[in-house]
Amino acid sequence: MNTVKPQLLIVILTLGVFCIINTEMGVVGMVPQIAEHFNVSVPQAGMTVSVFALMVAVSAPVMPLLCSRFNRKHTMVVIMALFTLSTLVAAFTTDFWVLLVMRALPALLHPVFVSQAFTTAAAAVPPEQGPRAISRVFIGVSAGMVLGVPVTSYIAVNVSYQAAMLSFTACSLLVLIAMICLVPSIPAQRQTIGSQLAVLKAPPLWYGLSAYTLVNGAIFGFFSFMTDFLNCVSGLSFDAAAAVLLAYGLCNILGNLLAGRVYFKRRAFYLIAVPALSFAVYAALFVTGSSSAAACVLIALAGIIAGFMVIPGQHMISSAAGQAQDFANGLFLTAANFGTMAGTALCGYCINSGGTRAALWGTFIFFALSFVFLLLRLNSRTGFLPESSQAAERARQPRRPCKDVNCLTAKAG
């Protein structure tokens, strides 16, 4: 097949990202079953989560760069095939160390698929629709995080460990078939590794990376302790807290959709206003968190804002990287993961010093620091010029023959 409608391509990419995130996060909900199945301790079983996260953190800035030379369809097909095969082996192995290897290998290529999915989705539509396309792919990220843990946990508890692992296999296999049959060849970017690494010399890129690391750390550092906050401060039961976390995830998806529709209309305003609003929401939660009703409302609002912030975060990094978009998206994933780790560490330190409610002090510190880099990033102007100025700049650029994924829209008609 030589052509595909951009809408269908984006759906396939979204489902692919969902499968990958689901495979990563779903194991969190079945750690006790893994421990029982392989006759290991629960902390040892938890290595199936940590080894995946470690591989992602290590490979995110490197693998997208190295793989940018290859045809994107071929790369994503190979990655999805690897996820399918690794989860199939993991379902039937009786050796715990084989299971860890089957978790580590696909994790190395996790950032490649996600970064190329963002780049391909944005390139498949007109420039003004790029943020909306990326926001739809981000739905796969949010859905994988929201649905992966409870669904996989239910299957593991009520059926078996193998059934839960095979659910990952089935999901990946369906996307693999769709990609082989429906997605056209997507030629690689004609860029050398050196030319892509050269974007690291641009201060706006570092401002964007620093800002998003801090913003993501502020949001997801507290998220790591949200259940504990709802239990200890708001007085909710574990079941009620789980329901609130599910609502948070669904609100996160809503935030993704809202950002795709409105962010580019006033990008500079939203880049400052959204973190400021988030700071205000967490401050209100600090003051009124002992009220279960107030906590539920504020956490739902925080979920929407967290989902909204992903698109501005990705844009302020990618818009500073020129044509090195796969590399930029890999750096975006690195910033997100490093921010989460640093934010969790700081919020955990605050809890040790002042109790559960004090976790929000870590969030406040990270947000306060992020505004410094957000203002520096805005002051650099790259990616934040008015639309009229950008249109004039594009009009001055010479037209080039259509040789890459940007042709998808024209071919699809």
Task: Tell me how many degrees the CA angle 324-329-335 measures, rounded to the nearest 5.
Answer: 125
Instruction: Say which DSSP state 13 is in.
Output: H
Q: Which CATH superfamily is domain 196-382 in?
A: MFS general substrate transporter like domains (1.20.1250.20)
CA angle 261, 216, 228 (to 5 degrees): 115
Q: In this predicted structure, what is the pLDDT of residue 412?
A: 39
- How many angstroms separate the CA atoms of 303 and 200, rounded? 32
DSSP 158: H
Residue 198: strand, helix, or coil:
helix
How do residues 79-92 score in pLDDT, each as one tens digit? 999 999 999 999 99
* pLDDT at residue 283, as a whole number: 96
The three-point CA angle 356-357-361 to 5° equals 110
Domain-by-domain residue ranges, the chain? 6-188, 196-382
Residues 301 and 323: their CA atoms lie apart, in Å, by: 35
Q: What angle, rounded to 10 degrees, do the helices at 161-182 and 31-38 form?
A: 110
User: Are the folds of 6-188 and 196-382 the same?
Assistant: yes
DSSP string, 66-121: HHTTS-HHHHHHHHHHHHHHHHHHHHH---HHHHHHHHHHHHHHHHHHHHHHHHHH
For the chain, residues with pLDDT lower than 50 are: 1-2, 388-406, 408-413
Q: Check if the beta carbon of residue 110 is closer than 8 Å to that of residue 59.
A: yes
C-alpha–C-alpha distance, residues 248 and 141, integer Å: 14
The string of pLDDT tens digits covering residues 13-46 is 999 999 998 898 888 778 888 888 999 887 788 8
Angle made by CA atoms 263, 266, 272, in degrees to the nearest 5 = 80
pLDDT at residue number 334: 83
Contact 73, 180 (CB under 8 A): no
What is the model's pTM?
0.77
Identify the CA nearest to 213 among candidates 351, 34, 377. Answer: 377
**Lookup result for tokens 């913003």:** 215
Closest CA to 21 of 254, 333, 367: 333
Rounded distance between C-alpha atoms, residue 367 and residue 376, angstroms: 15
The pLDDT of residue 272: 92
Q: What is the pLDDT of residue 385?
A: 65
Closest CA to 99 of 195, 31, 182, 194: 31
pLDDT tens, residue by residue, 289-300: 999 999 999 999
From CA 208, how far away is CA 411, in angstroms rounded? 34
Residue 106 identity (one-letter amino acid): P
**What DSSP designation does 129 have?**
G
Q: In terms of CATH, what superfamily is 6-188?
A: MFS general substrate transporter like domains (1.20.1250.20)
**Residue 330 near residue 324, CB atoms below 8 Å:** no
Q: How many CA atoms lie within 13 A of 106 on its CB side?
A: 32
DSSP H/E element including 264: none
Distance CA 161, CA 105 (A): 20
| Closest among 299, 249, 264, 329 to 60, alpha carbons compared | 329
